[in-house]
């Protein structure tokens, strides 16, 4: 009977030891965690530069906001998507896809390819545009809830 408190104390010490050991695990996991998309962080976007680029005339004679609207949230027609408030990674990835011909659209691909050929845009420019449009208040969050 007298041995029981000692046994409990030993068990507690064991548990405490385990708990203490366990504590280091999430930290180690956190350190090992890598973001799924590293494309944007490879080119940190400059929002102010992105805003200027968004209104810069491309070789087509139009700017991003001429078609996608101010802040990318008021497109000229239903065939032109809202890009304001869209995920930064998504925007950057889409622009890279138009650049590489992995995504093709008669109006949009020529904007990006033409601007690359003319030197109006480069990868940093795509990152800046993505940072700018991602920062805008847009209706995309609401769309997920609409019926």
Interface with ligand HEC (CB under 6 A) = 58, 62, 64, 66-68, 79-81, 83, 91, 94-95, 103, 105, 107-108, 111, 129
Q: How far is the CB of 141 from ligand HEC (least distance, A)?
A: 14
90: how many CB neighbours lie within 10 A of its CB? Answer: 15
Return the closest-CA partner of residue 63 out of 44, 83, 43. Answer: 83
Other beta carbons within 10 Å of 40: 21
Q: How far is the CB of 35 from ligand HEC (least distance, A)?
A: 20
Tokens of 58: 């491309």
Q: Which is nearer to ligand HEC, 20 or 106 (CB)?
A: 106
Pick 73 or 83: Cβ nearer ligand HEC:
83
Locate 62 and state its tokens: 């139009």
- Cβ proximity to ligand HEC, 73 vs 129, nearer residue: 129
Give first-to-last CA distance, the chain, whole Å.
Answer: 68
Of the two residues 9 and 104, which places its CB atom closer to ligand HEC in the complex? 104
């Amino acid at each position: 009977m007298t041995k029981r408190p000692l046994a409990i104390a030993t068990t507690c010490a064991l548990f405490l030891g385990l708990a203490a050991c366990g504590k280091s695990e999430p930290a180690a996991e956190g350190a090992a965690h890598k973001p799924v998309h590293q494309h944007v962080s490879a080119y940190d976007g400059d929002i102010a530069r992105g805003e200027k680029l968004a209104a810069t005339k491309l070789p087509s004679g139009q700017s991003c906001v001429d078609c996608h609207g101010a802040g990318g949230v008021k497109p000229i027609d239903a065939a032109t998507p809202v890009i304001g408030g869209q995920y930064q990674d998504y925007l950057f990835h889409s622009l890279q896809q138009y650049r590489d011909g992995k995504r093709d659209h008669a109006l949009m691909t020529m904007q990006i390819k033409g601007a690359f050929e003319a030197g109006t845009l480069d990868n940093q420019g795509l990152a800046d545009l993505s940072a700018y449009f991602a920062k805008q208040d847009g209706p995309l969050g609401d769309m997920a809830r609409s019926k």
